[in-house]
């Protein structure tokens, strides 16, 4: 992506090697001013390393990082317009809450009254007003996390770097803090770069998400675009659940490809910019909730394959079905919304039966690898 006018961060071929191992491989993208941007990927994919390079805690092996138009070069963390939020244990137990927050301003030329005012404002921002004199061991996990946030925002950075800041919290608190984080980011209007390996957290919080694997950025998009139009098998499989049908493109007709996914089984797939030629291998990806399971043969305008139910489980709001459709292929997962009473379902009873699996053409995604 070319550097755009409102880019707060511009990464150009940013690479980090530890010996022969490449932890981050030529990361090249922009993050806009005021964006809530997440780095998402499995453990060890390079998220923390990339974040630490942006913050100046780690020097890149090659490439350049611009923040607000300025090349960062080898500038140390305290000379960058960034601040990092570490996990809760990073707050000092021997200081009270206000002192912990004021620590963020320790190296700044500000007088005592200004420090007090800024600390109060930061406390209010993270909803800890009145708790300034508490010690760390008198705080809950969520409150400690808010202190860490307050300490980072008290110096009014242009960019806040957050490395799994909610990782130590239990699920309920984590969900509350997610909402607070998003509100905080909106009211501060600053750029957040948020690292997580929790896809739901990334999807619900972010304006855009970079999905990483093995040091590489695979795709950068909004949550809906990542879910609806993944650009490769890895992203498609990492975000949510996905069925993959391996096959061959037999024809390209306008903005659709005709794919053969089994002996004499042909389906249509929309083309949204992929370059495909007849004869080439391809993968069709379809989400479980986009597939319907029906008894009667569907209209020819829809894709349909004959299948046999192998297992089904009733989950209240939806039912999950696993269906075999072709001897050598993996079974297909189908997720059906239970809008009607279970007894009315074509699958009521649970015994193995012949069905049609069907989905509209536009529900499929063609992947090249």
- Residues near ligand ATP (CB under 6 A): 18, 23, 41, 43-49, 197
CB of 198 to ligand ATP, least distance (A): 10
Q: How many CA atoms lie within 13 A of 30 on its CB side?
A: 13
User: For residues 191 and 9, what is the distance between their CA atoms, to the nearest angstrom?
Assistant: 9
Q: How many residues bind Mg ion (CB under 5 A)?
A: 1
**Tokens found for residue 40:** 């998402």
Q: CA 126 → CA 66, 147, 180, 192, 226, distances in Å?
A: 29, 8, 8, 16, 31
CB of 151 to ligand ATP, least distance (A): 21
CB of 48 to Mg ion, least distance (A): 3
Quick one: 26 or 188, whose CB is closer to ligand ATP?
A: 26
User: Using CB distances below 5 to 8 A depending on partner kind, what does residue 210 bind out of Mg ion, ligand ATP, none?
Assistant: none
Quick one: 18 or 92, whose CB is closer to ligand ATP?
A: 18
Distance of CA 174 to the CA centre of its chain: 16
User: For residues 54 and 56, what is the distance between their CA atoms, to the nearest angstrom?
Assistant: 6
User: For residues 271 and 304, what is the distance between their CA atoms, to the nearest angstrom?
Assistant: 19
Quick one: 161 or 261, whose CB is closer to Mg ion?
A: 161
- Residues in contact with Mg ion, shown as a per-residue x/- string from 3 to 42 under the rule CB under 5 A: ----------------------------------------
On whether the CB atoms of residues 229 and 223 are closer than 8 A, the answer is no
Distance of CA 103 to the CA centre of its chain: 32
Quick one: 44 or 73, whose CB is closer to Mg ion?
A: 44
Question: In the set 48, 143, 231, 312, which binds Mg ion (CB under 5 A)?
Answer: 48
User: Using CB distances below 5 to 8 A depending on partner kind, what does residue 23 bind out of ligand ATP, Mg ion, none?
Assistant: ligand ATP
Exposed/middle/buried for residue 343 (C-beta within 10 Å: 0-12, 13-18, 19+): exposed
Quick one: 165 or 230, whose CB is closer to Mg ion?
A: 165
Quick one: 47 or 144, whose CB is closer to ligand ATP?
A: 47
CB of 226 to ligand ATP, least distance (A): 18
CB of 16 to ligand ATP, least distance (A): 8
CB of 145 to ligand ATP, least distance (A): 17
On whether the CB atoms of residues 82 and 56 are closer than 8 A, the answer is yes
Query: Quick one: which segment of 7-15, 46-54, 88-96, 178-186 binds Mg ion (CB under 5 A)?
Result: 46-54
CB of 201 to ligand ATP, least distance (A): 12
User: Using CB distances below 5 to 8 A depending on partner kind, what does residue 69 bind out of Mg ion, ligand ATP, none?
Assistant: none
**Tokens found for residue 133:** 């004199």
Exposed/middle/buried for residue 177 (C-beta within 10 Å: 0-12, 13-18, 19+): buried
User: For residues 277 and 286, what is the distance between their CA atoms, to the nearest angstrom?
Assistant: 21
Quick one: 203 or 367, whose CB is closer to ligand ATP?
A: 203
User: For residues 112 and 17, what is the distance between their CA atoms, to the nearest angstrom?
Assistant: 43
Pairing of strands 318-324, 303-314: antiparallel
Query: Quick one: which segment of 48-56, 146-154, 171-179, 277-285 binds Mg ion (CB under 5 A)?
Result: 48-56
CB of 179 to ligand ATP, least distance (A): 23
Site residues (vs Mg ion, CB under 5 A): 48
């Amino acid at each position: 992506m070319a550097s755009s006018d409102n880019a707060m961060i511009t990464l150009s071929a940013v690479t980090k090697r530890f010996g022969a191992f490449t932890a981050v491989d030529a990361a090249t993208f922009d993050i806009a001013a005021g964006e809530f941007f997440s780095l998402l990927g499995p453990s060890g994919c390079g998220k923390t390393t990339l974040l630490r390079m942006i913050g100046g805690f780690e020097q890149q092996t090659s490439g350049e990082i611009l923040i607000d138009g300025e090349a960062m070069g080898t500038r140390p963390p305290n000379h960058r317009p960034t601040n990092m939020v570490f996990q809760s244990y990073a707050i000092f137990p021997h200081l009270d809450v206000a002192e912990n927050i004021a620590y963020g301003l320790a190296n700044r030329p500000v007088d005592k009254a200004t420090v007090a005012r800024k600390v109060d404002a930061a406390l209010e921002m993270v909803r800890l007003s009145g708790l300034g004199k508490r010690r760390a061991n008198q705080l809950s996990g969520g409150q400690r996390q808010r202190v860490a946030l307050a300490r980072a925002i008290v110096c009014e950075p242009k960019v806040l770097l957050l490395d799994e800041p909610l990782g130590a919290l239990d699920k309920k608190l984590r969900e509350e803090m997610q909402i607070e984080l998003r509100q905080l980011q909106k009211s501060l209007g600053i750029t957040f770069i948020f690292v997580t390996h929790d896809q739901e957290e990334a999807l619900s919080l972010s304006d855009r998400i970079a999905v990483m694997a093995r040091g590489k950025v695979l795709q950068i998009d909004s949550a809906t675009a990542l879910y609806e139009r993944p650009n490769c098998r890895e992203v498609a499989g990492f975000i949510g659940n996905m069925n993959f049908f391996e096959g061959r493109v037999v024809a390209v007709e306008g903005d659709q490809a005709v794919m053969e996914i089994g002996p004499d089984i042909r389906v249509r797939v929309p083309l949204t910019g992929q370059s495909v030629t007849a004869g080439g291998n391809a993968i069709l990806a379809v989400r479980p909730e986009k597939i319907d399971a029906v008894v009667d043969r569907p209209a020819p305008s829809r894709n349909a394959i004959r299948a046999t139910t192998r297992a089904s489980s009733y989950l209240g709001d939806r039912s999950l079905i696993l269906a075999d459709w072709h001897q050598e292929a993996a079974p297909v997962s189908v997720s059906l919304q239970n809008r009607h009473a279970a007894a009315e379902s074509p699958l009521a009873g649970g015994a193995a039966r012949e069905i049609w699996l069907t989905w509209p053409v536009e529900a499929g995604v063609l992947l090249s690898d």
